[in-house]
Amino acid sequence: MAARKAARRPRICFVVESGTDVRLVDGLAEIGELTVLARRIEGGVEINRTPRPGISIDIGPASFGGFARFVLRYLRGKRRGFDFVLVQGYGAAAAAANIAARLTGVATAMLVCSPIEAYYLCRRGQSGFGKPFRRREWLALRTTAALNARLGTNYIVLSRHLEDVVRDHGGRARIDVVPVYGVDTNVFQPLKIDRADVRRRRGLPATGAIVFFSSRIAPEKDSATLLRAVRILRDRGRDIHLLHRSGGHVRFTREALIHGVADRLIATDAVHPLEELPLDYAASDLCVQASRAEGLGFSVLEAMACGVPVVATAIGGLSETIRNGKTGWTYPAGDAGALADAMMAALDNPAEAARRAQAGRRLVEAQYERRLVFSRLSSLIDAQVAGA
């Protein structure tokens, strides 16, 4: 029976609790017959862009508890419909999927893309990001994480840092490091046309340095420190522009007004991740990732693949890719002065910046290339299905 399962494309159910990227969904559809089971995102979207045709998408209740109950009923009812279940994170939906796996025997793994408790801790002392920090909710996250460590048998994590995070939850589950969705280095590649022409096509300033901040606006991304650093550079007489594309651009614009750098900000809604985003990297002189916590950080990988130098905090999964003096510049999280100095060093030394960016591209090609990581994921799924 297991041999027959492994001989054909596996039937995969991807359980999405908090929204996901179309590149991950399309990649999973390439390696198996895919069904996406997603929690309804009120006022938002379950998948950031329309996925490829042929993918079945079922939407469950908006509440976390209601969705978890929906997942358990769904997976039990479809016990013969799937060969493999991939569930996002280690929250309530993951607990439901892990319970279903024990009842049905279907191979199941938790896909961990971020350190949820660390992200939640970043809410302390910050307002305007939805619900404020509540210690009981943080403890509930820790409790659910520990429960899943005991219920589950498999994790797939994006980085060694996340491997340490889930290992800290206890349990004896298997942990595989696979940085899906990876970076398509044929799409994200060094500029082959004049940068001035790209800026003109993207409606960006013809003069001055452009710094790309492609992170979403959230407590853990620390946009405030970046804005303070831009203010420092502007006060030093630097001609610098900050480019930002995300659904949180309205809030980011308000923050820029507070820090007195709104005239230096170019902020819009998110752009297409494959058709437009590479052009924004190509038009930029520098990419900054200011996170206070990070699972891996795809923005910096995409930037390096495009030959763009990177400045990032020396934390979490970023420490595995942005190596000071080798693939970029690093600074202590929350230190606006150190960030400003690192940005100046990158902008004022183009030859060194190019050397580090080139080393970064080689790193991406060797470890994070899209085809490579999905091939690894496909082999891992096949092995788990065969062993179920």
pLDDT tens digit string along 265-308?
999 999 999 999 999 999 999 999 999 999 999 999 999 999 99
What per-residue confidence (pLDDT) applies to 116? 95
Same domain, 177 and 199: no
**Count of Cβ atoms closer than 10 Å to residue 100 Cβ:** 26
- The answer to whether 182 and 373 have CB atoms below 8 angstroms apart is yes
Same domain, 109 and 28: yes
Same domain, 133 and 202: no
What per-residue confidence (pLDDT) applies to 340? 98
The pair of three-digit structure tokens given for residue 123, joined into one six-digit string = 């809410």
Cα–chain center distance at 187: 18
Please check whether residue 275 lies inside any domain of the structure. yes
Same domain, 53 and 177: yes
The yes-or-no verdict on residue 185 having pLDDT over 90 is yes
> Phi/psi class of residue 316: alpha, beta or left (left: φ > 0; alpha: ψ in -120 to 50)?
left
Please check whether residue 17 lies inside any domain of the structure. yes
Same domain, 201 and 341: yes
What per-residue confidence (pLDDT) applies to 5? 43
Give the number of domains in the chain. Answer: 2
Furthest CA-CA distance within the chain? 70
The stretch 130-152 carries a mean pLDDT of 94
The stretch 86-91 carries a mean pLDDT of 98
The stretch 200-208 carries a mean pLDDT of 95
Same domain, 149 and 293: no
- The answer to whether 26 and 4 have CB atoms below 8 angstroms apart is no
Position 130 confidence tier, pLDDT thresholds 50, 70, 90: confident
Calculate the alpha carbon distances from 112 to 155, 193, 257 in Å. Answer: 7, 37, 35
Same domain, 134 and 279: no
Same domain, 20 and 52: yes
- pTM score of the predicted model: 0.94
Rg for the chain, CA atoms, rounded:
21
Preceding amide of 181 cis, omega within 30:
yes
Please check whether residue 189 lies inside any domain of the structure. no
The stretch 367-387 carries a mean pLDDT of 97
The pair of three-digit structure tokens given for residue 265, joined into one six-digit string = 């900000």
The yes-or-no verdict on residue 132 having pLDDT over 90 is no
The yes-or-no verdict on residue 157 having pLDDT over 80 is yes
Please check whether residue 321 lies inside any domain of the structure. yes
Report the C-alpha gap between 110 and 97 in whole angstroms: 9
Please check whether residue 187 lies inside any domain of the structure. no
Report the run of H or E that residue 15 belongs to, with start and end: strand 11-16
**Three-class SS state of 265:** strand
What per-residue confidence (pLDDT) applies to 7? 58
Of 173-177, 222-226, 247-251, 334-338, the poorest mean pLDDT is in 247-251
Same domain, 219 and 282: yes
Same domain, 12 and 112: yes
Q: Supply the CATH number for residue 26's domain.
A: 3.40.50.2000
Residue matched to tokens 């999405």 = 16
What per-residue confidence (pLDDT) applies to 3? 43
Same domain, 201 and 331: yes
Of 2-11, 259-268, 325-334, the poorest mean pLDDT is in 2-11
Please check whether residue 256 lies inside any domain of the structure. yes
Please check whether residue 75 lies inside any domain of the structure. yes
What per-residue confidence (pLDDT) applies to 236? 97
The yes-or-no verdict on residue 191 having pLDDT over 90 is no
Closest CA to 92 of 16, 27, 186, 34: 16
What per-residue confidence (pLDDT) applies to 129? 78
Residues of the domain holding 14:
2-182+370-387
The yes-or-no verdict on residue 1 having pLDDT over 50 is no
Q: Sign of the C-alpha dihedral, residues 183, 187, 189, 190?
A: negative
Percent of the chain with pLDDT over 90: 92
Please check whether residue 190 lies inside any domain of the structure. no
What per-residue confidence (pLDDT) applies to 128? 73
What per-residue confidence (pLDDT) applies to 345? 98
Closest CA to 238 of 265, 206, 208: 208
For 220-260, write each residue's pLDDT tens digit: 999 999 999 999 999 999 999 999 999 899 999 999 999 99
The yes-or-no verdict on residue 356 having pLDDT over 60 is yes
The stretch 147-174 carries a mean pLDDT of 97
Closest CA to 36 of 17, 19, 15: 15
- The answer to whether 311 and 343 have CB atoms below 8 angstroms apart is yes
Same domain, 199 and 270: yes
